[in-house]
Amino acid sequence: MLHLMMKQCFAKDGKPDLSKLKEYMEVHDCADRLDSMAWSLFFIWVGIAWIADWSLGVGLMGVAVIILTEQAVRKFFHLGTEGFWLIMGVGIGVGGAWELADLQIPLLPFLLISLGLTLMVWGRQTKRAFFALRHRYQKLKQA
């Protein structure tokens, strides 16, 4: 995180750029406020769902809507989406829909298959990045 801030807030000559630093702080302050609002909505939703004695499926769907809406707002305001929370939102939404549909087939095997496929695709991309990095290193070594 500090490395990212230093990269974005310093000029090419290595001196701090105060205008970039101010912009960086404003963006991260906005992201922090958005996170706080999403957590607040989460607790309010859980309280309402609990008091109303709604099913687990309805509760999970509400949580998924809160998570995915936060990520959509982050994208809209160019704050950067968070991959972990996108995956969690979709996963919780699928779990809620599964519960609401009252399917007799267990969800866990499908989640495990999805996880395996995701890791397989991610592994291929990581392998490509590794070979690209190794190629770049060899070029630098030759120069």
pLDDT per residue as tens digits for the range 23-64:
777 777 888 899 999 999 999 999 999 999 999 999 999 999
Would you place residue 126 in the very low, low, confident or very high pLDDT band (cuts 50, 70, 90)? low
Q: What is the pLDDT of residue 25?
A: 74
DSSP string, the chain: -HHHHHHHHB-TTS-B-HHHHHHHHHHHHHHHHHHHHHHHHHHHHHHHHHHHT--HHHHHHHHHHHHHHHHHHHHHTTS---HHHHHHHHHHHHHHHHHHHT-SS-SHHHHHHHHHHHHHHHHHHHHHHHHHHHHHHHHHHH-
Task: Give me the chain's average pLDDT, please.
Answer: 83
Q: What is the pLDDT of residue 28?
A: 75
Would you place residue 78 in the very low, low, confident or very high pLDDT band (cuts 50, 70, 90)? confident
Q: What is the pLDDT of residue 14?
A: 72
pTM of the model: 0.68
Does 97 score more than 80 pLDDT? yes
